[in-house]
Chain A
Amino acid sequence: MRFADARPDGRSVVYAHIQTDPLVLRAAGLLADASPTQRLLARAVMNGMTEEPGVWRTMFPTLFGPGSPLPGDPARDRSEAILEVSLEVAGRGEQARSQYRGAIVEALTERLLAARTGPVRRERRILFDGRPAEIHPYDVTAEAGVRAEAWDCKWGARGIKADVIHQLDDARRGAIDEGEQLLVGLVVFDARRSCEVRLVRERGSVPLQSLRLIALESLDRLAGRRTS
């Protein structure tokens, strides 16, 4: 088993600009140390309609309401910063914001994973002797250590599709065939409950225990941290 850079194509050239956009990096940095509710705020705002921040503050009383931390408190300031950056993403327009959201989940995954293991890479293919290479690269990989890791990142549970699940499982089985271990999984910026509904429908013959699912509530596990 070996890892290789993905072959650049038209999509990757365009997408590379979004991946390195300061807005993506700022959002990922804020979300890396955020609470589950702050991450949920980002999810709602980035796919919401309302551009008025006051409406979102009303919708999240535990972050901005009477009993929440006061302005100046680091937790409150982070909530405000996440609201601001999320509105900026939402303001990019329908087409662009979907690409920004995907890039943010990937960048967030990279940051969290790097807190536990490394080196962490993006857009990598996994090659096995005697097997044709998969066309689509894996979003985030950790390639050192006893057990390498390959993660596919999704904004929402709806992005979990049979072809993604099968590609991850094929890689896991390819590693086993070569006497190696590869942890494969999905990082989804959505509730576990919605992801499980989708996984059950899309998994086909793939055993669910072979695939790690990291959902919105448990993103900190990527970093080796207990879920707050």
Chain B
Amino acid sequence: MPTIASLIERALEGFATLAATAEPVDSEIQYVADLGTVWEARLRAVAEARGADEADPEVRDAIDALVAEAALIADPHRAIDWLSTLPQVALAALGEGT
């Protein structure tokens, strides 16, 4: 059974993939970096609080599906939008508020 911490690491990998896809949009480099700062902090706070807990299989499947969806996104502008969406969906799957 995966732990909450390992699922959060998976979500952060998905986030990094989106950030790389968003890179060609020069005018939004700072915004992308800022999103990374605030959402990584939020997700790591959950890992700090519940990281050692085992995650239910449906939560693992949700994070897997979410990260797979992020990997499908090739358009940099859509990736920027998803940089905000992915952490929200991950937190919802983990039963956490944004």
Contact = CB atoms under 8 A, between A and B. Distances in A.
A58 B39 contact: no
Interface in A28-53: 37, 40, 43-44, 47-50
A58 B85 contact: no
Contacts of B85: 40, 43-44, 47
Contacts of A62: 92-93, 95
A58 B62 contact: yes
SS of B interface (majority): helix
Contact of A191 (B31, B73, B88): B88
Question: Which of A156, A157, A191 is packed against the most chain B CB atoms within 10 Å?
Answer: A191
Question: Which of A43, A61, A65 is packed against the most chain B CB atoms within 10 Å?
Answer: A61
Interface in A44-99: 44, 47-50, 55, 58-62, 65-66, 94
B31 A59 contact: no
Given A55-B69, A158-B28, A60 B78 contact: no
A193 B97 CA distance: 11
Contacts of B80: 158
Contacts of B31: 158, 197-198, 201
Given A59-B65, A197-B34, 7 more contacts: A40-B85, A40-B92, A44-B85, A47-B82, A59-B69, A61-B93, A217-B97
Interface of B: 28, 30-31, 34-35, 38-39, 42, 56, 58-59, 61-62, 65-66, 68-69, 72-73, 75, 78, 80-82, 84-85, 87-89, 92-93, 95, 97-98
